[in-house]
Amino acid sequence: MSFPWAKEYTPQNGLMKFLDEKLPLPRLVYNAVGAGYPVPRNLSYFWNFGVLAGFFLVLQIVTGVVLAMHYAANTQVAFASVEHIMRDINWGWLMRYAHANGASFFFVVIYIHIFRGLFYASYKPPREMIWLIGVVIFLLMMATAFMGYVLPWGQMSFWGAQVITGLFSAIPLVGEPLQVWILGGFAPDNAALNRFFSLHFLLPFVIAGCVILHIWALHIPGSSNPSGVEVKSESDTLPFHPYYTAKDGFGLGVALLVFMTFVFFLPNQLGHPDNYIEANPLSTPAHIVPEWYFYPFYAILRAFTYDFILPAKLWGVLAMFSAILVWFFLPWLDKGPVRSGHYRPLFRKFFWFGLIPVMAVLFFCGGAPAEEPYVMISQIATAYYFLHFLVILPIISSIERPDPLPFSITEAVLGSDKKAVLGENAEPVAT
Amino acid sequence: MASTTGNAEATPQVSDGVESEDGVRRRDFINIAAVSAAGVGGLVTLIPLISQMAPSADVLAESTTELDLSSLEVGQSIKAVFRKQPVFVRRLTQAEIEEAQAVPIGSLRDPQTLDERTQPGHLDVLVVMGVCTHLGCVPLGAAAGENKGEFGGYFCPCHGSHYDTAARIRKGPAPSNLVVPEYEFTSDTTIVIG
């Protein structure tokens, strides 16, 4: 698909020949994740996380479909039906714990995948579209995860629904009617639970569609790599199969070991005990927090406590959404000519000592109570977060003098690339 | 040129495939009309699809609540339910009334006096929705022993909004006072909300 030296698919038997003529699905797979997809030879394990994310999406869909066979989306019985799954359904506990922890692991994997994209500037041309679709997938994941957390109809489900739909009420003029429309009532109730179940079932398939677009867009320029140097010749690449199927398979095994440790031994560690209390519209839990993977954005939401032209509440909502929307502009905010953080000394310093600690602080503050000093710490961290993307990154990427890049991926791996220097095989990349 | 259909007066010069002076053909008209009809039809289809998500008739039907306040002692509060949301009714003490009236109105985020937030002749009965105007949590302070916040009214634990004895926002992220629902006294000790 992408490089002239990519191996071509040849059907081996009559059935495959028939299929290749009528519906070339095996050819598509061969060129996408088979020997027909040449991949840079120097990918580190950070390049494993896209495959892992795909695995967890499939896991969530499979366990989710099973759970939907036994769950009842009605406020009278939803809470009890979850306990029915846990206690009465054969293997129901495994399906539910795998699904609940699977959501957390999906986010762990996606956060590392995004982190990889940020450090290696994978969003830079020619891969902007992959990044943009990725941000859309992340937003869809957040919506799906939020609605899934409402379904057990525990205290955190109910109050999470109340707080998150309350975000929309901050919008001037249309906000409150919009919230009532989203909920189908004046507070979360049966109507809301039912529609959230319907959408929670639908959105994963929308995500799967976007994942196909994401991979499609990826296969046009081919994968990025840790050196950030584009593929120049055949010696820079390896066929995806068997090299990366084997490597990603090993990574998947490691990820599953960690995942299953949680499912079997710490299944409620990432959840919240209040969600084992049935929803009570008249009593708010003392300390409402979302699931851990929303902490940084929740901290940004709560950081705004003063009215400044607009009400504080609206600022909080705008900032929370902007914290993700700013990622859409990243390909154009980062003006540097070099991709990989390994060759960008200034970028690297601000990444490790600026952005990453600030994200960690926001993670911590999002789970802390809404009191001082956490509010002020969140405010400082939020300010730095936006400063990093909107001011620091454009400036350092303009003034930075990058370290010298290796001539090719092969040189980055072997220390020299004689073939390429001598001109053999060093044809420019066909697009 | 003779027209084959009945819309002769609209485009008398036009027949199929032949341009009139301003370059409009009969086929263009048919195209625009067909696409417009399909477009309008498609948009109209959205009305039921969007409207079905609004509150249904049974949700809207639960829209009034009657409360008997005869057993509500001075300084006590009760929690009731109106439209599936909590309502707080508090019988204010003299000290709480004075505290609320001593606040300069200009200093408030959402300026309202206690008189504006209560019914005439019932300055001591404060009826508010128990829904924080920030993001909708139920504030604390209505039940005995709960945290009433720094201003002796209500305190929302979710994001730290403090309300005073007239349930007005004084500190924290909430943009406005706790909402006073529409209600009336049907007798000296009975109110109907909604």
Handedness of CA A162, A167, A169, A174 (dihedral sign): negative
Residue for token digits 């038997």?
Answer: A13
Give the tokens for residue A231.
């593929």
Determine, for residues A184 and B53 on separate chains, whether the beta-carbon distance falls below 8 Å: yes
pLDDT score of A423: 54
> B39 and B89 share a domain?
no
pLDDT score of A431: 44
Of B53, B109, B160, the CB nearest to A307: B109
CA distance B36 to chain A (A): 29
> B40 and B90 share a domain?
no
Q: Look at residue A49 and tell me if it is in a domain.
A: no
Write the CATH number for B163: 2.102.10.10
Determine, for residues A288 and B157 on separate chains, whether the beta-carbon distance falls below 8 Å: yes
Does residue B86 sit at the A interface (CB-CB below 8 Å)? Answer: yes
Determine, for residues A184 and B159 on separate chains, whether the beta-carbon distance falls below 8 Å: no
**CA distance linking residue B146 with residue B139, whole number of Å:** 10
Give the tokens for residue B54.
């609004």
3-state DSSP call for residue A326? Answer: helix
Across the range A399-404, mean pLDDT stands at 92
pLDDT score of B72: 83
Nearest to A294 by CA among A330, A328, A324: A324
What pLDDT band is residue B94 in, cutting at 50, 70 and 90?
confident
- Residue numbers in B near A193 (CB within 8 A): none
Q: Look at residue A375 and tell me if it is in a domain.
A: yes
pLDDT tens-digit map of A172-210: 888 889 999 999 988 899 999 999 999 999 999 999 999
Peptide bond between residue B139 and the one before it cis (omega within 30 degrees of 0): no
**CA distance linking residue A36 with residue A238, whole number of Å:** 10
Determine, for residues A187 and B55 on separate chains, whether the beta-carbon distance falls below 8 Å: no
> B11 and B95 share a domain?
no
CA-nearest residue to A366 within chain B is B159
Contacts of B42 (CB under 8 A, 6+ apart): none
pLDDT score of B100: 85
Total domains in chain A come to 1
CA distance B90 to chain A (A): 16
Of B17, B33, B54, the domain-final residue: B54
- Residue numbers in A near B174 (CB within 8 A): 313
pLDDT tens-digit map of A206-260: 999 999 999 999 999 999 999 999 999 999 999 999 999 999 999 999 999 999 9
The length of chain A, given as a count of residues: 431
Nearest to A358 by CA among A342, A379, A375, A331: A379
SS3 content of chain B, % helix, strand, coil (to 5): 25, 25, 55
CA-nearest residue to B55 within chain A is A184
CA distance B188 to chain A (A): 27
> B42 and B68 share a domain?
no
pTM of the prediction?
Answer: 0.85
Determine, for residues B173 and A305 on separate chains, whether the beta-carbon distance falls below 8 Å: yes
CA distance B51 to chain A (A): 8
Determine, for residues A159 and B86 on separate chains, whether the beta-carbon distance falls below 8 Å: no
Across the range A352-371, mean pLDDT stands at 90
Rg from Cα positions in chain A: 24
Q: Look at residue A322 and tell me if it is in a domain.
A: yes
Determine, for residues A304 and B173 on separate chains, whether the beta-carbon distance falls below 8 Å: yes
Q: Look at residue A318 and tell me if it is in a domain.
A: yes
Does residue B65 sit at the A interface (CB-CB below 8 Å)? Answer: no
Determine, for residues B157 and A284 on separate chains, whether the beta-carbon distance falls below 8 Å: yes
Nearest to A144 by CA among A106, A223, A199, A71: A199
Q: Look at residue A406 and tell me if it is in a domain.
A: no
> B18 and B44 share a domain?
yes
- Residue numbers in A near B175 (CB within 8 A): 170, 307, 311-314
pLDDT tens-digit map of B140-186: 888 877 888 888 889 988 778 899 888 999 888 888 899 898 888 88
pLDDT tens-digit map of A259-299: 999 999 999 999 999 999 999 888 888 778 889 999 999 99
Give the tokens for residue A66.
């099973």
pLDDT score of B8: 45
Of B84, B160, B172, the CB nearest to A189: B84
**CA distance linking residue B149 with residue B167, whole number of Å:** 11
Does residue A221 sit at the B interface (CB-CB below 8 Å)? Answer: no
Handedness of CA A370, A375, A379, A381 (dihedral sign): negative
Largest CA distance in chain B: 93
CA distance B40 to chain A (A): 23
Does residue A174 sit at the B interface (CB-CB below 8 Å)? Answer: no
Point out the residues of A that are catalytic. 219, 223, 247-248, 291
> B148 and B176 share a domain?
yes
Of B86, B109, B157, the CB nearest to A286: B157
Range of the domain at B25: 1-54
What pLDDT band is residue B14 in, cutting at 50, 70 and 90?
very low
- Residue numbers in B near A370 (CB within 8 A): 157-160
Q: Look at residue A288 and tell me if it is in a domain.
A: no
pLDDT score of B17: 54
Amino acid at B163: Y
**A53-67, B8-22, B54-68 — which is least confidently predicted?**
B8-22
Determine, for residues A283 and B138 on separate chains, whether the beta-carbon distance falls below 8 Å: yes
Taking a C-beta distance cutoff of 8 angstroms, is the pair A133, A217 a contact?
Answer: yes
> B99 and B30 share a domain?
no
Range of the domain at A327: 298-400
What pLDDT band is residue B19 in, cutting at 50, 70 and 90?
low
What pLDDT band is residue A419 in, cutting at 50, 70 and 90?
low
> B91 and B173 share a domain?
yes
> B95 and B28 share a domain?
no
* Residue B9 phi, psi dihedral angles, 5° rounding: -70, -25
Of B53, B130, B137, the CB nearest to A288: B137
Helix A128-150 vs helix A92-119: crossing angle, to nearest 10: 150
Count the alpha carbons within 13 Å of A204 in the hemisphere toward its beta carbon: 25
- Residue numbers in B near A186 (CB within 8 A): 55, 59, 83-85
Determine, for residues A282 and B54 on separate chains, whether the beta-carbon distance falls below 8 Å: no
Indicate the pairing of strand B65-68 with strand B190-193. Answer: antiparallel
* Residue B164 phi, psi dihedral angles, 5° rounding: -90, -170
Which residues on adjacent β-strands are paired with residue A268?
none
Residues 363-422 of A with CB under 8 A from B: 370-371, 375
Nearest to A57 by CA among A198, A210, A258: A210
Q: What is the ipTM of this complex?
A: 0.70
pLDDT score of B115: 85
pLDDT score of B182: 87
Total domains in chain B come to 2
> B50 and B62 share a domain?
no
> B49 and B74 share a domain?
no
CA-nearest residue to A186 within chain B is B83
